[in-house]
Amino acid sequence: MASEKDTSPSGANSLWGGRFEAGPAEIMEKINASIDFDKILYGQDIQGSKAHCQMLIKQEIISAEDGEKILVGLDQVKEEIEAGNFTYDTALEDIHMHVESRLTEIIGDAAGRLHTARSRNDQVATDFKLWVRDASDQMDQALCGLQNALVTKAEQNAHVILPGFTHLQSAQPITFGHHLLAYFEMFTRDRDRLRDARERLNECPLGAAALAGTSFPIDRFQTAKSLNFRAPTANSLDSVSDRDFALEFLSVASICATHVSRLAEEIVIWSSAQFNFINLSDKFTTGSSIMPQKRNPDAAELCRAKAGRIIGALTSLLIVMKGLPLAYSKDMQEDKEATFDAANAFALCIAAMTGMVGDMTVNERAMKASTQNGFITATDLADWLVRVLGMPFRNAHHVTGSLVALAEKKGCDLDGLTLDEMQTVEAKITQDVFSVLTVESSVASRISFGGTAPEQVLAQVKAAKSRIK
C-alpha cells in the first residue's frame, strides 16, 4: 500500500528534500496536487521508469543488484494499481511521487537510485508523450472503423438520389453514397493529420533532466529505443517545456470533432419529420417524457455538442502555454486534465457516430421526392444550352433563369413546362432538352472524377476500401 500522509514533526514531504522545513498549507496541497487526474499515467510512468532503470544499469550508473530490485518493485507497484490495491494521497502530489513512494516501501533505499539523472520535468513530459502516442493510435483505429461504416453505407446507397444543398437550399441532385463519401474524405485527412502529428511527437524527452541535461554518462538513445521513440529530443530546454504534441493532438481532435459535428447535424436534419430521409433505431434515439410520438436523435445532438468541449480543451491549453518562459512552469500541470477529457469525449463521439452510420435506414422514396422541389435540374438545363445550342454559359445561365421564373409562375418544375412554353424564352430549344431534366439523367451525367454519378461512386468506394487498408 502507498504510504500515508507524512506525520513527521515538520509535516514536510520527504520527497521534496531538505529545502522546505514546513509542510504545505491545505489549500496549497489541493491546488498543487494532480494525482486525481494524472494517476491515469501510471502505466506510462512505470514503463518510462523501467526503461530509465535499464539504461542506468547498462551504463553502470547504478548496480545491477539495485536495478533488479527496482524493476521487480515497479512490476509489483503496477500490479497493485491494476488490482485496485493502491492508496492515493494528495500529499504525494502526482503519480510519479506515488510510484516512487510505494517503491521505497517495497524495496527500501534502493528505490532512491531510480531518480538518478532524471527530473520530474522530463519524466512527466515522457509519460504524457507516451499517453498521447497511445491515444493517437486508439483514435486512428476508431476513425478506421468509422470510415469502414461510411464506405459500407455508401456502397449500399450508390444509386439513391437526394438533393445536394448549398446554403441549405436545393442545388443539384446527388447520390447518397456520394454524400457519405464526402465525410470519408474528411476523416481520411484527419487520419493523415493524426499520423503526421504522431511522427512529430515520437522523440523521447527522458534524460533532459530538469532543464539542462545531466552530468551522468547516460545513453538517451538507448532509453528512446527502449520506449519505441524514433530518437531522443535534441534540446534539453525544449524537451521539458514542449507541449506541442498535446496541442497538435487536440488540434487534430478538434478538426475531426468538427467533421463529426457536421455529420451529426445532418443526421439531426435528415431524421426530422420535415425531411424524413433516414431513421435511427432505439439504440441511438430517446423518447419524450410528455410527447409519446417523439424519437429524438440525442446521440447525434451530443456528438454535435461535444465538439465544443474538445475545441475548448485546445483553446485552454493554447492559453496556458502562450506566455510561459523556458523552461518548465507549474502552469503546465494544466495540460493533462483537459487533454484526457477531450480524448474521452472524442472516443465516445467516434464510437457513437460509427454506430449511427451503421444503424441508419435510408428512406429512398422521401429523398427522391425531395428532389422535386427547388428546380434542382436547372444547372443541367444550362449545360444543355451550352453543349447542344453552343451558347456561352453566361447567356445559358440567363435563359435558364428566365425558364425557372416561368415555371414558378406556372407552379411546376422545369420538366412541367411544355416545349412551346420553353421556346417563348429561347426559340432554338428542342424536344431533346427533356432528356436532361430528370434527376436520374442529372446524376448519371456527373461522370467527372470525384463526381456523383453512381458509377463514379462505386469506383470511389473501391478506391476508399484500399485507402483504408
Cis peptide before 212 (omega within 30 of 0): no
Task: Tell me the pairing of strands 278-279 and 361-362.
Answer: antiparallel
pLDDT in tens, the chain (469 residues): 444 344 443 444 555 555 666 666 778 878 888 888 889 999 999 999 999 999 999 999 999 999 999 999 999 999 999 999 999 998 888 999 999 999 999 999 999 999 999 999 999 999 999 999 999 999 999 999 999 999 999 999 999 999 999 898 888 999 999 999 999 999 999 999 999 999 999 999 999 999 999 999 999 999 999 999 999 999 999 999 999 999 999 999 999 999 999 999 999 999 999 999 999 998 987 666 666 566 788 999 999 999 999 999 999 999 999 999 999 999 999 999 999 999 999 999 999 999 999 999 999 999 999 998 888 989 989 999 999 999 999 999 999 999 999 999 998 889 889 999 999 999 999 999 999 999 999 999 999 999 999 999 999 999 999 999 7
CA distance 390 to 397: 13
Query: Please, are residues 447 and 456 in contact by the beta-carbon 8 Å criterion?
Result: yes
Instruction: Specify the pLDDT at position 3.
Output: 40
Instruction: Give the global pTM.
Output: 0.88
Residue listed under C-alpha cell 426530422? 272
How high is the pLDDT of residue 6?
44
- Closest C-alpha among 267, 364, 366, 250 to residue 313: 250
Burial of residue 467 (number of CB atoms within 10 Å: 0-12, 13-18, 19+): middle
Each residue of 212-228: b (16+ CB within 10 Å) or e?
ebbeeebbbebbbbbbe
Kindly list the catalytic residues.
Answer: 167, 288
CA distances from 290 to 190, 273, 274 (A): 41, 18, 21
